[in-house]
Structure 1
């Protein structure tokens, strides 16, 4: 089991001392990695800039995007940007991509209509892999055209294991066809297991396989009662379902055990609140989960 920490500052803009303290505390307390969310029209900041700073103030923790919007980006420039970050951090980048949030403002920010996102994603991800391989890319597609274009640098390890987000059946099947791993979010253990099985079946149908260790889930946890507003993304959510989806800190260990039984081994844990002091928060989390440093 690897414990990763998700950074989503909510309504606050990222603050240098707060974010630096989080990064250094993760490293000193033995956590595996830092994962940042993306919302272009929110206050949380750019994921690549955040991870670049995290890489500069740490030496060991891995750096992940949970998840980065792909439609709306230029593949050659994004390939170079992420590979550069990987080089400067010593090969620690873990990219995970998605279609982006289902908000009109986000679609406008990326210059992509909602109905265009899937076709763009399907064209973009294979192009990124080709650029990261170091080949000179020739491609004439519906949105992008390249004639012998290569970008440098390439990833430190020669390629990235690319994870994908999403929970709809179409997104799960896409992950089975294109991804190296799946990062689920806001799903029950039973839903997570169903998603994993669908991804594995789809991968097998396309002559692929996904490493059993490449299934993870983002789990929000809370101190005290869960806000009623959390029911909005999941209409009809019962108190019991809400408690399972967003466990209290004390119940977190039991919740993770249920995900492990469903075939998951990587966990991005994200507190619902904004901790006043990250070191205190992470120490409490480590103690509850009996993590070894």
Structure 2
């Protein structure tokens, strides 16, 4: 039986205490699996770790994920401590997913990295995070990071994390197979989701590894109401930047078609979903109840 999990991520907007509180508490009440937050230093949504820390204090059950957190430009030792601390305070509910960061000059300035440096930095940083979380005394002299007998505390609640990566290029997919524990796609069609999964599994096999079948997921946008020309341009443009041309309904279906879309993604081998509305709703209680009725019965396992 396929284990389907359905989480939720708010659309990028300036932090709003009352709205975010309603969202977080609504997800816990309605039975969603998880809350996810995105990251853009030059965007409006704020810091992901701060947001998840606030959410952890409001909840006791839902898992807490980053979709995705940029790793290049952050010191691995401090990231290890920061995320382990949040995991412990939340009762072991953190789901870290990392990426290279958005291809945006402003974001790269904020992290202090050049675009061409990012991939090598991630390749070097992720194994270091695993060593720190395992409680190792780390000695490492690399191109970007240098440690001599450094041990970081505390450790995560379970002594480590299953770390997922985002990304859609062939290089990013192969890296996911080589060094990560799962894949979180974005703006993907079912066909592209299946292609990415197969490429990742092949790269993992080449590296003598195996990624669990349940560790493939996607951020899934959905919309309410008719598709305006502006919204269609936004959807197709985002899909083109990630995978290539795609029909809007294959990337961001209307709510009434979301169940069928998720089923197609499950058939493609994906089973962990992060739903994101293409616009902030007027009322979170009403919105989450509607999404619950539309698709939450698919969550099982």
TM class by smaller structure: over 0.9
1:4 corresponds in structure 2 to 7
| 1:52-67 equivalences in 2 (<5 Å) | 52-67=53-68
What is the CA–CA distance in structure 2 between the aligned matches of 1:282 and 1:167, rounded to whole Å? 29
2:174 corresponds in structure 1 to 173
1:139 corresponds in structure 2 to 140
Q: Kindly provide the CA deviation profile for residues 208-227 of structure 1, in whole angstroms up to 9, marking residues without a partner as x.
A: 00010000011100012331
| 1:255-274 equivalences in 2 (<5 Å) | 255-274=261-280
The structural deviation recorded for 1:290 is: 4.9
Q: Kindly provide the CA deviation profile for residues 100-149 of structure 1, in whole angstroms up to 9, marking residues without a partner as x.
A: 00000000000000000011111111111110000110000111111110
Which structure exhibits the higher relative contact order, with contacts defined as CA atoms closer than 8 Å and separated by 6 or more residues? 2
What is the CA–CA distance in structure 2 between the aligned matches of 1:105 and 1:147, rounded to whole Å? 33
| 1:45-194 equivalences in 2 (<5 Å) | 45-194=46-195
The structural deviation recorded for 1:14 is: 1.0
Q: Secondary structure at the match of 2:43?
A: coil
The structural deviation recorded for 1:229 is: 2.5
Q: Kindly provide the CA deviation profile for residues 24-83 of structure 1, in whole angstroms up to 9, marking residues without a partner as x.
A: 110011000001000011110100000000000000000000000000000101100000
Pairs aligned (count): 289
What is the CA–CA distance in structure 2 between the aligned matches of 1:66 and 1:99, rounded to whole Å? 12
2:288 corresponds in structure 1 to 282
- List 4+ stretches of structure 1 deviating above 4 A: none
1:229 aligns with 2:230: no
What is the CA–CA distance in structure 2 between the aligned matches of 1:163 and 1:225, rounded to whole Å? 34
Check 1:203–1:237 CA distance in 2 against 1; reply closer, same or farther (3 A cut).
Answer: closer
Q: Secondary structure at the match of 1:123?
A: helix
Check 1:237–1:225 CA distance in 2 against 1; reply closer, same or farther (3 A cut).
Answer: farther
Please say which of residues 224-233 and 108-117 is displaced more in the overlay.
224-233
The structural deviation recorded for 1:187 is: 1.1
1:254 aligns with 2:257: no
What is the CA–CA distance in structure 2 between the aligned matches of 1:229 and 1:188, rounded to whole Å? 15
What is the CA–CA distance in structure 1 between the aligned matches of 2:184 and 2:245, rounded to whole Å? 22
Structure 2 residues not aligned, in runs of 5+? none
Check 1:198–1:237 CA distance in 2 against 1; reply closer, same or farther (3 A cut).
Answer: closer
Q: Kindly provide the CA deviation profile for residues 167-222 of structure 1, in whole angstroms up to 9, marking residues without a partner as x.
A: 00000000000110000111110100010000001101111000100000111000
Contact 2:26 2:288 in 1 (8 A): yes
1:245 aligns with 2:246: no
Structure 1 residues not aligned, in runs of 5+? none
What is the CA–CA distance in structure 2 between the aligned matches of 1:6 and 1:105, rounded to whole Å? 23
